[in-house]
Structure 1
Amino acid sequence: MTTPERVALPMTVPAPGLPARIRIHEVGARDGLQNEKAVVPTAVKAEFIHRLAAAGLTTVEATSFVHPKWVPQLADAEALFPLLGDLSGAGGIALPVLVPNERGLERALALGARRIAVFGSATETFAARNLNRTVAGSLAMFEPVVGRAKADGAHVRGYLSMCFGDPWEGPVPVRQVVRVAKALMDLGCDELSLGDTIGVATPGHVRSLLTALNDEGVPTGSIGVHFHDTYGQALSNTLAALQHGVSTVDASAGGLGGCPYAKSATGNLATEDLVWMLQGLGIDTGVDLDALTATSVWLAGKLGRPSPSRTVRALSPSPAPSPEE
């Protein structure tokens, strides 16, 4: 039986009204790996990030400075970050890290981190489960973190989870999300990432939220989108955001990831699937799809299971049939 030929790249057919270039905020090394049950060795994480950088990704979220009790997979932040020193600096890539509080910020700054992220919730239930605080209490906790990071010259990203739906509270009103998002930006964040944590968003909902944020003074240029693919809507939602003018998209190499505090959250939008669509639209990403695919195949081997990314599966060589087949 012969293996059918594969199309190496999509045909480029630009669509009007889309950004000419997209910055992919790669979250595989942090968000993608944080939910893995088996601990991934620090050296593997470091090589993963180096491979992602070599594939052309310019922003790779490296790790999280949370207490090891809460996310054991990322307990090696102090050991990992120094292994990435050759990637940062002049002409290097951005290596954001997640910090939950002032102690986490101190740990990150001590190692030279220059891009910081805080992680908030648009809903009270998830704020209680993820941060053990109310929404207001979490914003109060972030205020000194953002202030100190900015005073130190660091770039600050604000993640906002449950922007479209919550597994305990159901659909989240747009006005509620806008109120919390605006409060997060008012703390001094440079960038806002809108998280569809359980993957329930649809394109009209995405456009509605983006328009409402603009109406409240949050510019499109400061917004990124972070979609999960639970219902197969991540790419359609991304396209809706691009049509609105968003030019920062979060994605995870190989489609890895979920959320340890929201069991219905499945994998992130796969970076390869995103790049395939963007290349077809003629949008520049700077990413080498072959190198990225090879990286996800390599990591899948380390994790002991195939990549969930459709593009990775389509572009990866099929295993040779066994003699019995």
Structure 2
Amino acid sequence: MTRPIILDLTPGAQGMATLLAALQVPDHVRPVLVLFSGQPAEVAVALTHARDLLHQYGLDDVGVHAGCPGSLTGGTGHDVPAGQDGLGALNLVQAVRACPADSVSICCSGPLTTLALALVQAPDIATHMHGVIVNGGAFYVHGDATGVAEHNIAADPEAAALVLAAGVPVTLVPLDCTARLKADAVWMEQLEPMGRKPASVAGRVHAELVAARNGGARGSGVDITLRPVVPLLALLGPGLFSGHLAHVDVERRGEFTRGMTVARRMGPPDVQPNALVLERMSVEAVRGVLRDLLLSVRK
């Protein structure tokens, strides 16, 4: 069975690598919508590149759109969209409704604003979702937004809390699991065959990965995270990961703890798990799967 998937990506080399990897396994997954959320200029570049990439694969019917900017509350503390055009969420609603019940998986590399707004606008789409895989949270490691909060959750805690409460199967991939997954020099050397035809799809994505490493603040060759690819790889290779069911809460009020995620394995009888939290991955195996997918590109 080929599972329909929606990729909610952040712009940049890792986002393009995620999309390209997803297109190498058409017997397993097929993108039905691609979203990019981030800085407007970066999103505009990513949209153009993604549409061209999909065109090369004869997938012009796959929608490529900008996700919702900002956060659900706009920092006002009120649970209403602030400054949202809502088009990203509308595109998401339409794509999910077009899929059969319990069929579509959504892989989220960044904040959950677009998905949360879609669930507010159309709660019925939850019945079409097989699951949501999210890069988010930090439990036993230092956060990358604050000391206790991971960036994607901290960017929109209300959205994260809403998705976790929606009754949709959620797989949460925290920093604890992904911190060591990087594009190091050895891995990049293994990808060198991608760059032998610079004008090809593979060559362009390889060039973006090289540029991302060479553009590091500390100079050339700085390892970059491969975290944006993890939701897709967790869907394709769940055996490469291990975790546990937990009830995850998102702190939304604390002055110093906003965006913090708290997981409870055990609790009162009325507290049920709302997420599968992935604790560990086989880093080398995951990098190997991604490498092999990218090297299989023939376009």
Q: TM-score, normalised by structure 1?
A: 0.37
Higher strand proportion: 2
Bigger RCO of structures 1 and 2 (CA < 8 A, at least 6 apart): 1
